[in-house]
Structure 1
Amino acid sequence: MKATVLVLSFVPLIVFSLLARVLPAGGIGIAALVAAVLALGALLVGRPIWPPKIISVLSLVLFAVLAVLGFTLGHQDDSRLATWGGAGVGVVLGLLVLALVPVLPFTEQFAREQVPRSAWDSPVFRRINRVLSTAWGVAIVALGVSRILAASLERFHAIEVIFGLIVPVWIIVQMVRFTKTYPERVTRGESRSG
């Protein structure tokens, strides 16, 4: 599986997080709308187009709801939504990914584009994707928690930078590495024992 293609599916979350931080008060609806449009674009250009990538569907629904809330809430609520929604969206998305692991590990949709159809039902293929999807779900929750810490400690600029930027980038880099190496380690171990 190509880790970069997988990471690109998180562009709506990344763009939303950035816009939620930099747009003035009242801009959370715009940030969520941009993220929803990006998620819709990912659905429309993703191959194969059917079935749609579950991560893009989750992002589209999540950001569409946030856009509606952002455009309909009053200024005071919108300000809170910008502070906490921008951080909490990662937690919600990560929990949704984790909840779907037993039913449909989201990485499986990406892996099927690279792996022959004959391997899709193998226990190794399924185990790899359950582990990868679980790891990504936990990582996304950790990103959200890190952003919540950054938002709650914003008066301490250095700590905000650590939890709002450094920790999220480190988590993503580690997940890209893990996504690239884990399937190969498992299949190499299976071929040695088989």
Structure 2
Amino acid sequence: MRGEGVALAAAAPALLAGRPKSLDAMGIATFAGLSALAFAGGHAAQAFVTDHGRTVATGALAALIFLTLPVMPFTEQYAREEAPRIVWGTPAFKRTNRLFSAAWGGVFALMTLAHLVASTAPHNTGLDVVCNWIVPIVAVQQMFTFMKRYRTRQSAPRPA
């Protein structure tokens, strides 16, 4: 399994800076768990990880995002690196990060469902390509577009 290496590489800058993120930790733990299962669990476990690893990984991320939403939305950890400390406690900062985190949770939930469909669909139907690649790519692209538009609307001057 290469996922844990990718998760560690993605998390390295935050870990080295002493600012680990919950999403990074969940990615590392999920991929390490899937790797351990694949290596120690025999052929059936390897087949499960091969067939359903994407579903488990995106489902775990969606669950983490939704569970941490009331405490600290995961996007807030990233936003604090860009925003001045004075705005961290403001209602607008909190509202925006809850909205973005909830929307990202929805993206990961959609990806989980798409991966599940792909892993249970008959082979050679093209559904695996659509569900494993097209749906996630379009969902992430749409999320970035949504975030950019939202920020633009929020920073636009309000009519008096």
Q: Confirm or deny: 8 A CA contact 1:70 1:78 kept in the other structure.
A: yes
User: 1:192 corresponds to which residue?
Assistant: 158
Q: Which amino acid aligns with 2:130?
A: I
2:82 matches 1:118: no
Cα drift, residue 193 of structure 1: 6.7
Q: Which amino acid aligns with 2:14?
A: G
The structure 1 residue matched to 2:26, chosen from 51, 58, 78, is: 58
2:70 matches 1:102: yes
Aligned with 2:158: secondary structure?
Answer: helix
Cα drift, residue 145 of structure 1: 0.8
CA distance in 2, matches of 1:187, 1:148: 39
RMSD: 2.0
Aligned length: 160
TM-score normalized by the length of structure 2: 0.89
Q: Confirm or deny: 8 A CA contact 2:65 2:73 kept in the other structure.
A: yes
Q: Structure 2: any 5+ residue segments left out of the alignment?
A: none
CA distance in 1, matches of 2:76, 2:46: 36
Q: Confirm or deny: 8 A CA contact 2:37 2:45 kept in the other structure.
A: no
Q: Confirm or deny: 8 A CA contact 1:88 1:145 kept in the other structure.
A: no
Cα drift, residue 175 of structure 1: 0.9
Aligned with 1:112: secondary structure?
Answer: helix
CA distance in 1, matches of 2:110, 2:66: 12
CA distance in 1, matches of 2:145, 2:16: 25
> Does 42-51 or 104-113 show the bigger shift?
42-51
Alignment of 1:1-194 (within 5 A): 31=1, 34-46=2-14, 49-188=17-156, 192=158
> Does 89-98 or 122-131 show the bigger shift?
89-98
> Does 38-47 or 167-176 show the bigger shift?
38-47
- Superposed CA deviations along residues 87-135 of structure 1, whole A, max 9, x for unmatched, are 2321121111111011111111111122111111110000000000010
> Does 105-114 or 179-188 show the bigger shift?
179-188
Q: Which amino acid aligns with 1:180?
A: K
CA distance in 2, matches of 1:48, 1:182: 32
TM-score normalized by the length of structure 1: 0.75
Q: Structure 1: any 5+ residue segments left out of the alignment?
A: 1-30
Cα drift, residue 48 of structure 1: 7.8
Cα drift, residue 186 of structure 1: 2.8
